[in-house]
Amino acid sequence: MSFMPRRPFLGSFVLALVFTAASFSAMAVFPDKAIRLIVPFSPGGGTDQISRALGAGMAKALGQAVVIENKPGAGTVIGMDAVARSTPDGYTLVMATFAHAVNPSLQSKLPYENDLSFSPVALVARGPNVLVVRTESPFKTVDEIIAAAKLKPGSLTYASQGNGTSAHLAGEMFVNLAKVDLTHIPYRGAGPAMTDLLGGQVDLFFGTAAAVSPLMASGKLRAIAVTSAMPSPALSGVPTVSASIPGYAVESWYGLYAPAGTPKEVIAKLNSAIADAVNNPDFVKKVEHEGLTIVVGSPSDLHIYVQGEQTRWKKIITENKIQIQ
């Protein structure tokens, strides 16, 4: 009887132990280099600002730099896909937004699978969008905008930070429920959209609170209404769109994802760093001033929330026959 076959088995077993030990060692020292945080929009918008503020706080908690990299385009698909294809080691993250939950319903084919290509890390914040106009605009109420749109169908334009974003869908829901015709102008981020809004190239913007609040505070933009079902405590005196259009409600959110397969221990460290960052008084003051609510929880909390958003918006998109223009 020969016992030679045991040697390969023992060799494989020892090798597996070595790799396992190396893996645990790598996780124990994570992170030992800079982390890349992908923002799927151009610089200057609300998502970019929130990501940079969060990245600064995470860098302090982790002891490593968090480098922001803007990858705009295709309604966040370019940035999301870059992360989906990255090595699942915790060193590449993406700041996902509303668009991540609606893209599967708006786009017939994505280069990744929403539910299988990413590991949830943490939901960061939620808040309303704000319907704004430049201060020189004649519009002061939702009813005035509806009246103008009905008088000259298609003549009023609204900007968004890209197809499938909260600003886009907020406008599409406005069109469908108010039974008016507005022309959608998509941009590659909130920054370029607001530049053209201020310059008079577009009439309206359903921007995220984070994006438009600084320009509202400086007096360059005027808030017409918030898109949430209830008024925002941070935007005192600003009515809801639903006061004029019953049933109207749109919410923005920010959440971090890593590539699928990222070790749970690494996800846990990242989640803890995010919690530390958002509880910093400077970050809290910033997001609350912009109408956002901090909602950091477990990775599964982000997964459950986004699943609910996907289901809700799939129904709305289908029933209202909303399509990307």
Residue 259 forms beta bridges with which residues?
118
Q: How far apart are CA 48 and CA 149, in angstroms?
A: 32
- The percentage of residues in the chain with a pLDDT greater than 70, rounded to a whole number, is 90
Arithmetic mean of pLDDT, 11-21? 48
In a domain, 9, yes or no: no
Residue 80: burial class (beta carbons within 10 Å; 0-12, 13-18, 19+): buried
Arithmetic mean of pLDDT, 152-180? 93
In a domain, 324, yes or no: no
User: pLDDT grade, residue 21 (50/70/90)?
Assistant: very low
157 and 196 Cβ atoms separated by less than 8 Å: no
Domain match, 112 and 162 both: no
∠ CA 185-95-223, rounded to 5°: 45
Domain match, 222 and 312 both: no
**Structure-token pair, residue 34:** 């800079």
Domain match, 121 and 156 both: no
Which of 35-39, 130-134, 251-255, 284-288 has the weakest average pLDDT?
A: 284-288
Which of 243, 269, 301 finishes a domain?
243
Which of 226, 243, 260 finishes a domain?
243
Domain match, 212 and 270 both: no
pLDDT at 11: 53
Which of 9-13, 16-20, 178-182, 189-193 has the weakest average pLDDT?
A: 16-20
- Residue 84 pLDDT greater than 50, yes or no: yes
- Residue 25 pLDDT greater than 60, yes or no: no
Domain match, 70 and 213 both: no
Chain-centroid distance of CA 298 in Å reads: 17
Q: Which domain holds residue 108?
A: 31-127+251-319
Arithmetic mean of pLDDT, 56-66? 96
Domain match, 103 and 153 both: no
Which of 243, 271, 304 finishes a domain?
243
- Residue 14 pLDDT greater than 60, yes or no: no
Q: How far apart are CA 29 and CA 182, in angstroms?
A: 53
Residue 19: burial class (beta carbons within 10 Å; 0-12, 13-18, 19+): exposed
Q: How far apart are CA 224 and CA 214, in angstroms?
A: 15
- Count the domains in the chain: 2
User: Is 44 strand, coil or helix?
Assistant: coil
Domain match, 107 and 78 both: yes
In a domain, 105, yes or no: yes
Return the CATH number at 115: 3.40.190.150
Domain match, 121 and 137 both: no
Return the CATH number at 172: 3.40.190.10
Query: What Rg value do the Cα atoms of the chain yield, rounded?
Result: 22
Arithmetic mean of pLDDT, 234-244? 93
User: Is 203 strand, coil or helix?
Assistant: coil
Between β-strands 251-259 and 92-97, what pairing exists: parallel, antiparallel or unpaired?
antiparallel
User: pLDDT grade, residue 302 (50/70/90)?
Assistant: very high
In a domain, 325, yes or no: no
Q: How far apart are CA 322 and CA 176, in angstroms?
A: 9
Helices (H) and strands (E) in the chain, counts: 11, 10
Report DSSP letters for 265-307, one per residue: HHHHHHHHHHHHHHTSHHHHHHHHHTT-EE----HHHHHHHHH
**Structure-token pair, residue 190:** 């909130």
**What is the pTM assigned to this prediction?**
0.80
Domain match, 107 and 140 both: no
User: pLDDT grade, residue 188 (50/70/90)?
Assistant: confident
